[in-house]
């Protein structure tokens, strides 16, 4: 009798665990178009990771992120993995913050960028905090297999702070950057020689009225560009350029909410804009909200947005800091932080997305699907 009770109880526990897992699995109503959904690694020699980036090279996909004991800890390093024959290689440590025998700083926010016909660049920051970090770069000529020595970027040049540079119509490279040492300000860094040298623009904002950071750049018709950025103002903000990035309009609020967490976007080959972000309006008047769910939206004009996907919707935060690219075959690839424990990799077929308009900044409701209620600690960095 005792054995039967034990076995029955064990089965009940298994069923509960299966139900709990399925309750927060990929929501079917918002997953059409996803063709790959996996972790880049299952185990790592460090407890936490964050801020993933991805690039397509002549030898395949390369991803990078920072990992260590905890963000800001001196042991946080930059790690790189390559997708080879459909599997991600074991990550290698390509950068650390060792200054000398007695001083070491954390590494931060790697950004991969493949120069057309040239090197793969790996930008990253080293320092005790975002207000005091310095920019560095390494170069690879073989798609991330081997890397050059570390190069310090010149004073006043940080490199891209989270999202990738873009190549403009005239061949120049525009890097989205910003500072946090006197308010949260965004600026750009321009290279006219394939990333050998850079010139920084003035900030687009004062860092106090609108506290913006981590821009992403989108292309529109002609020489028109759109910049979207994370803010501490409860919304994604935008700026527009009609002259290939020479001048920009004042930062203005979009219809999309922001939880003071990173976003990223890409202009698709068909001209549409795709954005990955947390569609979260923080409670009350707070600037910061939970980093769940993680959403994908589409726009034809950068103004009116349509709900496309929910990549994660568990109330167990956080799912954050996405990087998104479209590869030569038309597929969209996204990497992002999964609970600070692993890096998630998702492949999307943009032709299979089912869209519903986002009205008044509210993610559209779908019959049979109820977003989870987020509880507990929402004070994620």
pLDDT attached to residue 370:
75
- Segment 94-103, tens digit of pLDDT: 999 999 999 9
**Alpha-carbon torsion 235, 241, 244, 247, what sign?**
negative
pLDDT attached to residue 27:
66
- 233 neighbors 254 (Cβ within 8 angstroms): no
364: which 2 tokens? 């559209």
Domain 25-357 indexed as CATH 2.30.30.60 = no
Q: How many CB atoms lie within 10 A of CB 143?
A: 18
- Segment 62-94, tens digit of pLDDT: 999 999 999 999 999 999 999 999 999 999 999
Confidence check: pLDDT of 6 > 90: no
pLDDT attached to residue 8:
43
Average pLDDT over residues 264-278: 98
> Which three-class secondary structure state does DSSP give residue 361?
coil
- Give the list of residues 6+ apart from residue 55 with CB closer than 8 angstroms, or none: 61, 62, 112, 113, 114, 120, 164, 325
- 138 neighbors 125 (Cβ within 8 angstroms): no
- Segment 115-156, tens digit of pLDDT: 999 999 999 999 999 999 999 999 999 999 999 999 999 999
Lowest model confidence (mean pLDDT) among 71-85, 248-262, 275-289, 357-371? 357-371
- β-strands 264-267, 106-114: how paired? unpaired
Q: Which H helix or E strand runs over 94?
A: strand 92-95
- Segment 170-218, tens digit of pLDDT: 999 999 999 999 999 999 999 999 999 999 999 999 999 999 999 999 9
CA 165 centroid distance within chain:
13
- Segment 25-44, tens digit of pLDDT: 556 779 999 999 999 999 99
* Alpha-helical runs (H) found in the chain: 2-23
Residues facing residue 90 across a β-bridge: none
Q: What average pLDDT does the structure give for the chain?
A: 92
> Which three-class secondary structure state does DSSP give residue 351?
helix
Locate the domains of the chain by residue range. 25-357
pLDDT attached to residue 367:
80
Confidence of residue 22 (pLDDT cuts 50, 70, 90): very low
Confidence of residue 225 (pLDDT cuts 50, 70, 90): very high
CA 67 centroid distance within chain:
15
203: which 2 tokens? 């900030």
Query: Which has the closest alpha carbon to 266: 26, 27, 32, 56?
Result: 56
Confidence check: pLDDT of 320 > 90: yes
Whole-number CA gyration radius for the chain: 21
- 346 neighbors 61 (Cβ within 8 angstroms): no
Separation of alpha carbons 29 and 194, rounded Å? 43
Confidence of residue 24 (pLDDT cuts 50, 70, 90): very low
pTM: 0.92
- Segment 208-224, tens digit of pLDDT: 999 999 999 999 999 99
Confidence of residue 289 (pLDDT cuts 50, 70, 90): very high
Residues facing residue 35 across a β-bridge: none
User: At residue 131, what are phi and psi to the nearest 5 degrees?
Assistant: -75, -20
Separation of alpha carbons 280 and 273, rounded Å? 20
Separation of alpha carbons 240 and 200, rounded Å? 18
Confidence check: pLDDT of 4 > 70: no
Give the percent of the chain with pLDDT over 70: 90
Separation of alpha carbons 295 and 308, rounded Å? 8
Separation of alpha carbons 148 and 113, rounded Å? 15
């Amino acid at each position: 009798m005792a054995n039967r009770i034990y076995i029955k109880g064990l089965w009940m526990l298994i069923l509960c665990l299966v139900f709990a897992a399925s309750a927060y699995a990929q929501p079917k109503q918002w997953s059409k178009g996803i063709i790959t959904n996996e972790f880049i690694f299952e185990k790592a020699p460090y407890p936490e990771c964050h801020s993933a980036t991805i690039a397509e090279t002549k030898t395949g996909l390369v991803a990078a992120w920072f990992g260590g004991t905890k963000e800001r800890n001196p042991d946080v390093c930059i790690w790189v993995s390559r997708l080879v024959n459909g599997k991600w290689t074991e990550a290698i440590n390509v950068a650390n913050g060792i200054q000398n025998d007695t001083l070491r700083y954390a590494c931060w926010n790697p950004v991969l960028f493949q120069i057309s016909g040239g090197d793969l660049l790996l930008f990253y920051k080293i320092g005790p905090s975002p207000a005091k970090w310095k920019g560095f770069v390494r170069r690879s000529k073989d798609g991330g297999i081997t890397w050059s020595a570390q190069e310090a970027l010149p004073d006043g040049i940080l490199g891209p702070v989270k999202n990738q540079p873009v190549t403009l119509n005239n061949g120049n490279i525009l890097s989205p950057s910003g500072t946090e040492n006197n308010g949260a300000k965004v600026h750009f860094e321009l290279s006219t020689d394939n990333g050998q040298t850079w010139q920084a623009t003035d900030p687009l904002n004062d860092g106090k009225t609108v506290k913006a950071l981590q821009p992403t750049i989108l292309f529109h018709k002609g020489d028109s560009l759109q910049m979207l950025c994370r803010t501490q103002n409860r919304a994604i903000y935008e700026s527009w350029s009609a002259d290939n990035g020479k001048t920009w309009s004042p930062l203005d609020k979009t219809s999309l909410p922001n939880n003071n967490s990173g976003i990223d976007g890409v202009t698709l080959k068909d001209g549409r804009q795709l954005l990955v972000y947390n569609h979260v309006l923080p409670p009350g008047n707070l600037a910061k909200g939970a980093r769940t769910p993680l959403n994908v939206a589409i726009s034809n004009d950068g103004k009116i947005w349509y709900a496309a996907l929910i990549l994660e919707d568990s109330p167990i935060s956080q799912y954050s800091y996405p990087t998104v690219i479209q590869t030569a075959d038309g597929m969209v690839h996204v990497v992002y932080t999964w609970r600070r424990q692993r890096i998630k990799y998702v492949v999307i077929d943009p032709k299979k997305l089912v869209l519903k308009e986002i009205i008044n900044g509210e993610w559209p409701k779908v019959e049979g699907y109820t977003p989870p209620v987020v509880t507990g600690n929402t004070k994620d960095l």
